[in-house]
């Protein structure tokens, strides 16, 4: 299976972002990728304004644009977007959704674990999802998680129990002290926990390498990563926008779980 990983820095405007990722998606599809994964918040970057004003259902212009692109290229595309959820007080909350579209799919996974910490509360504006999500690509079961989910190993283990051999993790990971080390460690740990491939595209670091290591909001640190079921890093990006194309053998996940039956 050939997978394309798109690392970009998205903006406040979902029309601009659709145009932005389209170029990268075409690029990796030209190199034979049939499953193409973009970051969390592809439709609208975090810290770029209210999310509810551009949130849309799965028949909106952003998701429809990706659906048409997937059909044109004959690929499956996964990308982060926001959907209307509920209203709490004066706040219109959204779902943080990973759109899956192409090859008969047009569906979404709603992020279960919102980024609620001592200094940031994603659930103020984002309603948590409640259901795990898998889909089939080229006969292989693919699981989906999003960003902060990666800190919760049981979610990944349960996806593996439900048949996932590959888990996609669209992300917008905050920069700061030790954050890159945490990101790399967590991606490799979840691959080892569940015996799966981890494919995790992140937003590129705003400001690029010159801003590396300084604290930021949840707007990306780059370093999109592909990890094998034995914890080996297959490929990793840097801080700047770029794309990766990786070839994997999903059967390796089954062999790893047979050799080390942790589930």
> What element of type H or E holds 243?
strand 242-247
Say whether 40 is catalytic. yes
Q: Which of 14, 38, 127, 147 is catalytic?
A: 147
Q: What is the DSSP letter of 81?
A: E
Nearest in space to 190 (alpha carbons), one of 144, 138, 222, 236? 144
Say whether 181 is catalytic. no
Pairing between β-strand 76-88 and β-strand 91-102 as defined by DSSP bridges: antiparallel
Say whether 147 is catalytic. yes
Q: Which of 38, 40, 56, 157 is catalytic?
A: 40
Classify burial at 223, counting beta carbons within 10 Å of its beta carbon; exposed 0-12, middle 13-18, buried 19 or more. buried
How many alpha carbons fall within 13 Å on the CB side of residue 249?
Answer: 6
Angle of the 61-73 helix axis to the 14-30 helix axis, nearest 10: 10
Q: What is the DSSP letter of 139?
A: T
| 106-116 residues labelled b (16+ CB within 10 A) or e (exposed) | bebbbbbbbbe
Q: Which of 14, 111, 127, 157 is catalytic?
A: 111
Q: Give the catalytic positions in this structure.
A: 40, 111, 147
């Amino acid at each position: 299976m050939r997978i394309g990983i798109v690392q970009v820095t998205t903006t406040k405007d979902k029309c601009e972002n659709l145009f932005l990722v389209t170029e990268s998606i075409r690029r990796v599809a030209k190199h034979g990728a049939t499953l193409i994964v973009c970051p969390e918040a592809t439709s609208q970057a975090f810290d770029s304004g209210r999310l509810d004003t551009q949130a849309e259902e799965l028949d909106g212009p952003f998701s429809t644009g990706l659906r048409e692109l997937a059909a044109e290229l004959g690929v499956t595309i996964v990308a982060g977007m926001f959907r209307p959820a509920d209203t709490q007080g004066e706040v219109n909350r959204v779902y943080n959704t990973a759109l899956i579209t192409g090859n008969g799919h047009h569906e979404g996974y709603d992020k279960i674990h919102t980024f609620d910490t001592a200094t940031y509360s994603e659930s103020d504006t984002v309603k948590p999802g409640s259901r795990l999500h898998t889909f089939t690509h080229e006969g292989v079961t693919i699981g989906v998680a999003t960003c902060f989910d990666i800190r919760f190993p049981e979610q990944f283990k349960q996806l593996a129990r439900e048949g996932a051999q590959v888990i996609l993790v669209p992300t917008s990971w905050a920069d700061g002290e030790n954050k890159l080390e945490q990101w790399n460690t967590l991606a490799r740990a979840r691959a080892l926990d569940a015996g799966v491939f981890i494919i995790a595209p992140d937003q590129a670091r705003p400001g690029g390498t010159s801003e590396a290591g300084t604290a930021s909001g949840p707007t990306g640190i780059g370093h999109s990563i592909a990890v094998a079921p034995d914890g080996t890093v297959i490929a990793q990006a840097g801080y700047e926008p770029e794309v990766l194309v990786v070839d994997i053998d999903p059967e390796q996940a089954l062999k790893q779980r047979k050799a080390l039956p942790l589930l």
